Structure 1
Amino acid sequence: MFKKIGLVAAVLIGISGCSTYSVNRYAVSVDNISSLKNIAGSKLNVGTFDTVGESKTSIMCRGVGPIKTPDGQSFENFIRKAFIDELTMAGIQDPNAPITLTGTLDSIDFSSASGNWVIAMTVKSSNGNSISVSESYSFTSSFYGETACNQTAQALMPAVQNLIGKIVQNQDFPKLIEGA
């Protein structure tokens, strides 16, 4: 009897695995587009984005399962693509532009318990200027791991929107695009 219960328990644990929590695809922010349209006439290119430390495509959430970016891209490339989407919608992204912006993801982490994403990034211009920004994005979490991890995954996209907003609305952003 106990052998059968043990065998059934082992099989159930083996086939249940862990959940994967996917981040939504990026959607541009109206506020960011408005800010970028204020620099009309400028054209910008976006170069590579790298990260401090190891590049990640997922971060484990409470031991319940990983939070993953869409299409298995790294977090820095998720942010890079989001930045390109914002510039494209504002009509200022151009791969042949005289100014190229690159980025370094200085850090990215979350707390599914307190409901908070923390992202820090440095953006560098080919003209020699750079700015560093950070976003601490709060969201509603849950005591239950499954719910909390799902809410954490859903909160990354608006956290990145806010991060990009802090970049393009930064008082030093015009210095990054001088010569564009």
Structure 2
Amino acid sequence: MLMKFTVIAVAALMLTACETPTTQRYAIAPNNNVAIKALGVTGIGVGTFSPPATFSETCRALGPLKVADNLTHTQYIQRAFEDELKVAGVFAATAPRVTITGKVERLEFSSSRGLVGGSWTIDLNISSSNGQSMSAKEYYEFESGFSAPEACRQTAEAFSRAVQNLIGKTVANPSFAALIK
């Protein structure tokens, strides 16, 4: 009986250890799209976004959180800005009128806030080739779950929503208009 239990426990552990929670590709937020179009500009380029000094992708004992297309979390944020600008019709892949770049100052998550809750914290500084800069912050809370596989899966999925909110706060901020003028 003990041998049977041991075999089942080892098999269950191996199956859970192989799970890699992954954030799916970014999805455009309609409100962000409307806000960008309302700015009435075109010719915006997106340069490199640099990562924070420290960021741990490890979620509980399950392992690292990953992002679709083998991007880093910082590259995901950069690409999300590009995608939002592209869909709004204001992105310039070549010869942009103005280029924005970013520095992710803080990127943290918790999959166990209050035992079954989670959160993402993203602090971003954005600079423009026109000399202007601004900062944006997002603290996003969500329900994660009790077990590591569920909590980490929910945490990976919540990253996309946190980035959508970050971009929404950025483009709605009056300072963003100064970055792209």
Report TM bin, short chain.
Answer: 0.7 to 0.9
The yes-or-no answer on 1:176 pairing with 2:143 is no
Percent same amino acid among aligned pairs? 40
TM-score by structure 2 length?
0.87
Counterpart in 2 of 1:43?
A: 43
The RMSD of aligned alpha carbons is 2.3
SS at match of 1:25: coil
- The CA distance in 2 between the partners of 1:10 and 1:144, in whole Å, is 16
Residue pairs, 1:8-47, within 5 angstroms: 12=11, 15-16=14-15, 17-47=17-47
- The CA distance in 2 between the partners of 1:50 and 1:174, in whole Å, is 22
Instruction: Compute the displacement of 1:93 (Å).
Output: 0.1
- The CA distance in 1 between the partners of 2:14 and 2:37, in whole Å, is 51
Counterpart in 2 of 1:60?
A: 58
- The CA distance in 2 between the partners of 1:13 and 1:149, in whole Å, is 17
Asked whether the 8 Å contact 1:51–1:76 carries over to 2, the reply is yes
Counterpart residue type for residue 103 of structure 1: G
- The CA distance in 2 between the partners of 1:11 and 1:137, in whole Å, is 36
Instruction: Compute the displacement of 1:144 (Å).
Output: 1.5
Residue pairs, 1:141-156, within 5 angstroms: 141-156=144-159
Question: Unpaired segments of 5 or more residues in structure 1?
Answer: none
Residue pairs, 1:71-110, within 5 angstroms: 71-95=69-93, 96-110=95-109
Instruction: Compute the displacement of 1:15 (Å).
Output: 4.6
- The CA distance in 2 between the partners of 1:149 and 1:156, in whole Å, is 11
Counterpart in 2 of 1:116?
A: 119
Q: Summarize deviations over 1:100-152 as a string: whole Å, max 9, x none.
A: 00011111111111211111111100011111111001111212211111111
Q: Summarize deviations over 1:13-43 as a string: whole Å, max 9, x none.
A: 8854342101011000000000000122332
Question: Unpaired segments of 5 or more residues in structure 2?
Answer: none
1:32 to 1:14, Cα distance in 2 relative to 1, 3 A = closer
- The CA distance in 1 between the partners of 2:124 and 2:32, in whole Å, is 17
SS at match of 1:113: strand
- The CA distance in 2 between the partners of 1:32 and 1:41, in whole Å, is 15
SS at match of 2:112: coil
TM-score by structure 1 length?
0.87
Asked whether the 8 Å contact 2:119–2:139 carries over to 1, the reply is yes
